[in-house]
Structure 1
Amino acid sequence: MDALAEAALAGASPDELIREDVPGEYLAAYLHAEDAGMFGDAPDKDVRRSLRIGRVPMPELAPDEALVAVMASSVNYNTVWSATFEPLPTFDFLRRFSRQGGYAARHDRPHHVLGSDGAGVIVRVGTGVRHWRLGDHVVISPSYVDDQEPATHADGMLGREQRVWGFETNFGGLAHYAVVRVNQLVPKPTHLTWEEAASVPLCASTAYRMLVSDRGARIKQGDVVLIWGATGGLGSYAVQLVKAGGGIPVGVVGSEDKARALRRLGCDVVINRNDIGLGDRVPSPDEAIALGKQLGRRIRDEVGEDPHVVFDYIGAATFGISVFVVRKGGTVVTCGSSTGYQHQYDNRYLWMNLKRIIGSHAANWQELQECNRLVQLGKLVPALSTVYPLDEIGEAARLVQNNRHIGKVGVLCLAPHTGLGVTDPVLRARFGADRLNPLRDPALPAPSARPTPVVAGPTG
């Protein structure tokens, strides 16, 4: 660990941090462009083969950016997409971005540092930064927007240059340092550890926009909300948001272990997808209607009515069912397609029943701030289930790739162990550590003896 990182970890003052030199290189989890064709037609694109750990060059800081010493990060599904080079290599994103010239040109490198979540300490700010100072504890939004675009001022997600940090940009959060625009930052919740805080930003804010925001489903008290993948990162926060808003969450999961975890979250109705015959396959349109009828009967038996809203990020395997099962005038809100992007559904059940489909993507800065406030108030708690060290990023991402995880998989970056970063222990004690970690379970997968990760030296 370099001197600047050690100072940040030790809680150094701004004056102490500025005296330490920024290192020329830093440790990161990254992909290399030369590996983009490594999988070919292989049936199992094992991300442990493509994810590298090594030292990369430190980029120059732009005037509107901050350098964050990353204490912890987490794995999102975009890390899996990146590491399988699907649906296309992320180096294509970096090349397109770099054509803008100026500071954007930094992003086109033969390595891509991944990671779209992070919690850490600001150790440098650009010359144009006004509202942040060295030593501030922050969490990082994945929404990378251009505040000089007019559309951004209506909604940060509408700008043509909106990107996902650490996926469509370089210098992401699975590293000892991250370069971020300061309009990605919000204060770290004071009662959370580094790893807890890092498990929140992407998934919680995305679920907030989908369900609560004016740009999403705008759930209200009493709404029945069907949540697919209810113990995934997105689903775990969706369950909490529905409960906090006075709604009735109906969660669908794929195993009894996940069903037990979902009950710990307080989900009103828990359904194992195997019980309705769905399993892991993508159903045909006719099968989707038959499965939708079974699921609808099950939901009506439990709560007496059809769902007002369906929260769907699963995609091809569930979307036809979602459109069928949501009530007349109801809403299907989607932000992803982990089982496939090509959705089939019977349009008669959409138009004749006045249903709506809302596409949603990440969250704007205000939505992140509103979501972060709920975390600080204890109304929303981390979905963290297990934590890996950075040098085991391959195993952490493999867990997500195989859907063997529950909630969020955390990654320790500079933090040497879990439990650090709390600045308000009184508030933490008031909330209770157990309540803040409903998905942490000794039976869940945890770091153990694993294959040695790919370790590389400095790269250009």
Structure 2
Amino acid sequence: MQNILDAILAGDTTAEDFAALDLPETYRAVTVHKDEVDMFEGLESRDKDPRKSLHLDDVPLPELGPGEAYVAVMASAINYNTVWTSIFEPVSTFGFLERYGRLSPLAKRHDLPYHVVGSDLAGVVLKTGPGVHSWQPGTEVVAHCLSVELEHPDGHGDTMLDPEQRIWGFETNFGGLAQIALVKANQLMPKPAHLTWEEAASPGLVNCTAYRQLVSKNGGDMKQGDNVLIWGASGGLGGFATQYALNGGATPICVVSNDEKAEICRSMGAELIINRSEEGYRFWKDERTQDPREWKRFGAKIRELTGGEDIDIVFEHPGRETFGASVYVTRKGGTITTCASTSGFMHEYDNRYLWMNLKRIISSHFANYRESWEANRLIAKGRIHPTLSRTYALDEVGQAALDVHQNAHQGKVGVLCLAPEEGLGVRDEEMRAQHIDAINRFRGV
């Protein structure tokens, strides 16, 4: 791997020189093991420790297929799907790999007794397979995590509707928490030139997800003047949703859990903030019973902040804990967009407030290539900024995943893969200087 890293760090290596590099037979990668899927049996989710299940292994370099690319991964990031993979919830990801492996002889590569995880990357193209024309060795890239086959008509209006749609590094193998990743070439996008490797890697999954869920016509279709309720407004998803609301002329109503997170929202330009710790909302009386009085109290607080207006769009991702309140506070004819469900997948709400007031629930899952490209373009133009708060080494991924699992992090947590240190990879220092405060907004929080 050293010759690859040297070529990247040199800064003047030609495409021909990159193409001529010898690729290793094995590379270092973060994995979970199929023979350990029962290791946490009997434990509550909160007690499952990713440090025990995530391994740093030497794995064979997979065969490169048509339409694919090897990418030298300089940096990656932690997402909740890596946490779910590491604790084998809600199901083991090896079922995904087995099903994918039955699709074709080429897909069979993914069905292995280990799973290389990770759904973000920033790095350099090393080699491309037959049929790839747009990406040359040596090109600096980021990757979105949508993997599709597009052999079925359903995927050609919106690729997220492809029956063979998968999330790379979660439902496929050879993900980004590694020295080398295998991706489809149509996952690649240009690396923003003013960002470091770790900063460029961190937006990927959450930035594209937030764009589709809130901005795209496939999600909330947000417009100027909309009141947008954003749960976890300074977090991995919410931090981008807050930026998109502000950038698009909407008014974010930011829900946070402490003063520090409230201050982050204010630094982004948000003014209407609800601190759940101060307000003491308890939407559930017990595990089975919600409290509509708390929904009403929450709605009254929103109207107090907005001057009597209700919510046009709810950016919903906590799930079970908040969903009843989200449906209640949305205006007549308004929209609840939902993904993730980090507090639980079994949502409950009072359907009277939905059906009689013509509200809509829209499901949203990651983003198609066009939406991902637009989201990355806004990063590259300095309109939207990374939310990176801390970066770990590749051999510390277990601890990084535990921090995310325990919500002991803020924004996004990055991981250095081949990059030997933070701060490398910036190609446009002038643009970086213009946005340095926004880029560093989440640092050290």
| 2:284–2:321 CA contact under 8 A, matched in 1 | yes
Identity of aligned residues (%): 51
Check 1:281–1:374 CA distance in 2 against 1; reply closer, same or farther (3 A cut).
same
Partner of 1:271: 274
Question: For residues 249-264 of structure 1, what are the structure 2 equivalents within 5 Å?
Answer: 249-264=252-267
Structure 2 residue 35 is the aligned partner of structure 1 residue 7: no
Alignment partner, residue 29 of structure 1: 30
Which secondary structure state, in structure 1, belongs to the residue aligned with residue 160 of structure 2? coil
Unaligned stretches of 5+ residues in structure 1: 445-460
Letter in 1 for 2:111: D
Whole-angstrom CA distance in 1 between matches of 2:336 and 2:286: 18
Which one-letter code corresponds to 1:326 in the other structure? Answer: T
Equivalent residue, structure 2, for 1:125: 128
- Residue 357 of structure 1, aligned match among 339, 357, 361: 361
Aligned counterpart for 1:184 among listed residues 160, 184, 187? 187
Which is further off, 133-142 or 7-16? 7-16
Say if 1:265 and 1:439, in contact at 8 Å, map to a contact too.
Answer: no
| Matched residue, 2:416 | 412
TM-align CA RMSD: 1.5
2:61 maps to which residue?
Answer: 58
Q: For 1:13-412, list aligned pairs within 5 A.
A: 13-43=14-44, 44-278=47-281, 287-304=290-307, 305-412=309-416
* TM superposition shift of 1:236: 0.3
One-letter code aligned to 2:114: H
Question: Which residue identity does 1:346 align to in structure 2?
Answer: D
Q: Residue 438 of structure 2 aligns to a residue in which SS?
A: helix
Unaligned runs of 5+ in 2: none
CA drift at 1:279: 6.0
SS for the counterpart of 1:86 is coil
Residue identity opposite 2:432 in structure 1: R
Shift of 1:424: 1.4
* Contact 2:96-2:172 within 8 A present in 1 as well: yes
Deviation at 1:137, TM superposition (A): 0.8
Counterparts in 2 of 1:380 and 1:288: CA distance versus 1, 3 Å: farther
State how far apart, in whole Å, the 2-side matches of 1:336 and 1:114 are. 18
Inter-partner Cα distance in structure 2 for 1:120 and 1:282 = 48
* 8 Å Cα contact 2:77-2:415 kept in structure 1: yes
CA contact (8 A) 1:285 1:320 kept: no
- Contact kept, 8 Å, 2:227 with 2:311, in 1: the verdict is yes
Pairing of 1:415-430 with structure 2 (within 5 A):
415-429=419-433
The question of whether the paired residues in 2 share the 8 Å contact of 1:276 and 1:294 is answered with no
Cα–Cα, structure 1 residues 280 and 274, in superposed 2: closer, same or farther, change >3 Å?
farther
**Aligned equivalents of 2:225 and 2:127: distance in 1?**
47
Cα distance, 1:402 vs structure 2: 0.3
* TM-score scaled by length of structure 2: 0.96
CA distance in 1, matches of 2:150, 2:190: 20
**For the Cα contact (< 8 Å) 1:288–1:320, is it kept in 2?**
no
